[in-house]
Amino acid sequence: MPEEINAAMMEQLGLTTTVLFCAYDRYKDAEREDQHRVYALENHSPEVPLPTNGRWISQAELAGHVETLKATGCPDRRLYLLPGLYQEVLAATPFLLIDEPNGLPHSEHEQLLAFAPQLQEMCEELAGYKVPESLHHIDLHNGNILCNGETYTFIDAGEYCLAHPFCSMFIVLRVARYILEYDKQTLERLTEAYLAPWMRYEPTEE
């Protein structure tokens, strides 16, 4: 693994690096031992300038580049695909381990199957609004946002996909409510702040 990481840094950024250690390992089980790891690297190419022309690009701005993002290999979870993907997951019963240890109970599987028509209706209703789909971070919680006091960096890009932007809002609000334990007023302010860039597509009803 260290050799692969060093090779990727050279290929993608032109940097000669040495993997020092694994700074964070989310999963401890053998089946997922290579997932969600953060490594500390030593840079042996200080003369190579890091990008300095970066800028903040909002979800609303990225909405105009969905096809470009798709062409890069970004997973597509947009509304018109979501019901079908949902059915595919529920049909993959060998992977769901129905009624097996650490698997999905048969009763819950039946409930999920029964929910499929409602999901279809919800996707169609949401698609009826003018809010465009964009880049979505599936795991946008406080542990994946770094702040140095002036700027913010969003990490764990392996969790990005194309989806409706309100999916990101749902994750943020869930973390704010159940992990950070924000009060109702703060949650409402977060919701208003998140929705603000999308008002130009579909103003809220008074």
The model's pTM: 0.70
Q: How confident is the model at residue 183 (pLDDT cuts 50, 70, 90)?
A: very high
Q: Measured in whole angstroms, how far is the alpha carbon of residue 32 from the centre of its chain? A: 18
CATH 1.10.510.10 fits 55-78+133-206, yes or no: yes
Q: How confident is the model at residue 32 (pLDDT cuts 50, 70, 90)?
A: low
What's the average model confidence in pLDDT over 99-118?
A: 96
Neighbouring CB atoms inside 10 A of 172's CB total 19
Domains of the chain, residue spans: 2-43, 55-78+133-206, 79-129
Please report which residue ranges of 97-143 form alpha helices under DSSP H.
106-127
pLDDT digits (tens, 9 = 90+) for 34-88: 555 667 777 777 676 655 655 667 888 888 889 988 888 889 999 999 999 999 9
